[in-house]
Amino acid sequence: MESKATKLRSVLLSVALAAAALVPGVGNPASAETGVQLDATQIVTDLGAGWNLGNQLEANSNGYPSETAWGLPTVTQALIDKVKAAGFKSIRIPVSYLRNIGPGPDYTINAAWLNRIQQVVDYAYNRGLYVLVNMHGDGYKTVTGSWLICDAGGQSDIKAKYQKVWQQVANRFRGYDQRLILESMNEEFDGQYGTPTQPCYSNINAYNQIFVDTVRRTGGSNSSRWLLVPGWNTNIDYTAGNYGFVVPTDQYRSTSIPASEKRLMISVHYYSPWDFAGEESGTITQWGRGATNPAKKSTWGQEDYLDAQLKAMHDKFGVQGYPVVVGEYGAIDKSAFDSANNRYRADFARAIVSTAKKYGAATVYWDNGANGQYGFGLFDRRTYAVTHQGIIDAIMSGLRS
């Protein structure tokens, strides 16, 4: 997330196409749905513990996506295998397109970039993992080459571009089964951390609707796969509250889906309290009822707040059959200031996962590949070593609670 400093910190075409050929329906897209269809309870259970491949396919240099632009190495099959071995069942892959999108009216995505996205997806998908693919950095004003700006002029052109990009991505993955989930966008808002504004929120709703309609119309498994949509800045209050979020209609979905079931999920993120989870300072290093030093614990955002937040999402969306996905959560490493900090980071992760389970939501830990001070990393992306087994254990225990 470009607006959070701690989170910011080509493969040959023949190789990519060879990998793609291993996936049913990619070289010759399926004309019908494939794979088992899962209802709301089943999809959340199957997603299990999730992990973000952060700061890689959304990284960029001067507006051109590059997975090594922010100092991390090329993503490998070995890394994904390590993540799976640690117990994670799903992987979210943030993706930026930016200046790899050509001019209108076709807005063609650079072929090598789309092939590389598919190859990284296949690293996880071909190992039996669930994969969530989003559009990540294209909506941040602070990112060079961004264009999905909800309060910009020329919305008709923006929407046309957005539709064409998702059409291409959806066509590329239309033969993949229900273990692939597409997510419309990431933390879309006007860049100001305040009450949602209009017409910005109405444009976000319009983007979500375009996304759902476009993906569904490409057919194949896309007509029934689960799709993930966020509200304003993936903020729980501004999504569950009366601030303007509208769940997209799903009029083009497959008639094979039972009328009583949904195929849309609602995306939110959880970094509360920010002074513990994300603020680059050594002041607040402890969290939860186990905190031993009141001066190092935030005055808000503890277990009761977490419970109320996820209950609000359940009461607004879960009861209607729309699963909630906490697509990002975690807390930065402040152990340089407090040797006990990693214990509280683990407590925080465990509480989020267990509370989400209580309310029927899935969770995906934010890993930005950075280890040491202010990092979110759980793995060393060069050696593939686990760097925070305690946090991983806490995530897994949260699912068992």
Which residues are marked as active site?
A: 187, 328
Nearest to 215 by CA among 275, 157, 165: 165
Q: What is the 3-state secondary structure (H, E, C) of 58-122?
A: CCEECCEECCCCCCCCCCCHHHHHHHHHCCCCEEEECCCCHHHECCCCCCCECHHHHHHHHHHHH
Helix H or strand E encompassing 396: helix 389-400
Separation of alpha carbons 344 and 335, rounded Å: 10
Q: What is the dihedral of CA 119, 121, 123, 125, to 10 degrees?
A: -130
Closest CA relative to residue 169, chosen from 306, 12, 29? 29
User: 391 and 345 in contact (C-beta within 8 Å)?
Assistant: yes
User: Could you give the CA distance from residue 350 to residue 224 in angstroms, rounded to a whole number?
Assistant: 32
**What is the DSSP pairing of strand 60-61 with strand 64-65?**
antiparallel
User: Residue 133: which of 194, 52, 60, 16 has the closest Cα?
Assistant: 52
DSSP 239: H
Crossing angle (nearest 10°) for helices 77-85 and 111-125: 30
Name the nearest CA neighbour of 391 among 380, 376, 374, 369. Answer: 376
At 60, list the tokens.
């960029």
Whether residue 378 contacts residue 367, with contact meaning beta carbons closer than 8 Å, is answered with yes
For 397, which DSSP code? H
Radius of gyration, CA atoms only, the chain: 20
CB neighbours of residue 262 within 10 Å: 20
By C-alpha distance, which of 7, 3, 5, 2 is closest to 329? 7
**Strand-pair partners of 132:** 92, 181
